[in-house]
């Protein structure tokens, strides 16, 4: 399952950022109106998940929807997760987390990563997002250099 767009808070699960209410709603099958984002974050932190908040970039946009943020953004985490607070990463370094997957970017922000181009385009359409580019992240150094496997 692909994450929905993150408005402000997120939980890190499997190298992806998910809205806390999406996770708790899916796991408990409760209607999202039955609990707050704060309650969802508190539950997930209690279970040991890294929970954070998007920090706007100088251009006014928030950080990416997946771990490893755009080159101009910082992430604050409420729990010691995979990335320390204030860690900044280049987009190229972030993309290496998604080797072999299809990604959509807008400027220096990674919008979403998916296993197939169909899922990627579907996610963009469902959430009314537009990407500047969509491509498959090379799986290894050979593919990165444009060499085909033998």
- Give helix 20-28 / helix 37-46 axis angle, nearest 10°: 80
More confident residue, 25 or 8: 25
pTM listed for this prediction: 0.53
Q: What percent of the chain has pLDDT over 70?
A: 70
What's the pLDDT tens digit per position in 126-150? 999 899 988 888 887 666 666 555 5
Residue 95: pLDDT band (50, 70, 90) is: confident
What's the pLDDT tens digit per position in 47-93? 888 888 876 654 444 444 443 332 222 222 333 333 333 444 677 77
The tokens for 50 are 């890294």
Residue 16 has what pLDDT? 84
Distance (Å, rounded) from C-alpha 147 to C-alpha 4?
Answer: 35
Residue 89 has what pLDDT? 60
Q: Average pLDDT, whole number, for the chain?
A: 75
Instruction: Check if the beta carbon of residue 109 is closer than 8 Å to that of residue 89.
Output: no
End-to-end Cα spacing for the chain: 33
Q: For the chain, give every domain's residue range.
A: 9-137
Other residues' Cβ atoms within 10 Å of the Cβ of residue 103: 21
Tokens 């990407």, located at residue = 131
Give me the numbers of helices (H) and strands (E) for the chain, helices first please: 5, 7
């Amino acid at each position: 399952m692909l994450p929905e767009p993150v408005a402000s808070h997120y939980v890190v699960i499997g190298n992806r950022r998910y809205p806390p209410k999406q996770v708790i709603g899916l796991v408990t099958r409760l209607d999202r109106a039955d609990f707050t984002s704060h309650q969802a974050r508190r539950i997930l932190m209690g279970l040991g998940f890294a929970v954070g908040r998007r920090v706007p970039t100088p251009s006014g946009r928030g950080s990416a929807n997946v771990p490893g943020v755009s080159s101009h953004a910082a992430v604050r985490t409420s729990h010691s997760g995979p990335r320390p607070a204030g860690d900044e990463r280049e987009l190229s370094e972030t993309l290496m987390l998604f080797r072999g997957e299809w990604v959509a970017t807008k400027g220096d922000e990674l919008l979403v990563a998916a296993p197939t181009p169909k899922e990627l385009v579907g996610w963009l359409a469902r959430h009314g997002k537009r990407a500047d580019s969509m491509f498959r992240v090379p799986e290894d150094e050979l593919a990165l250099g444009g060499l085909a496997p033998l």
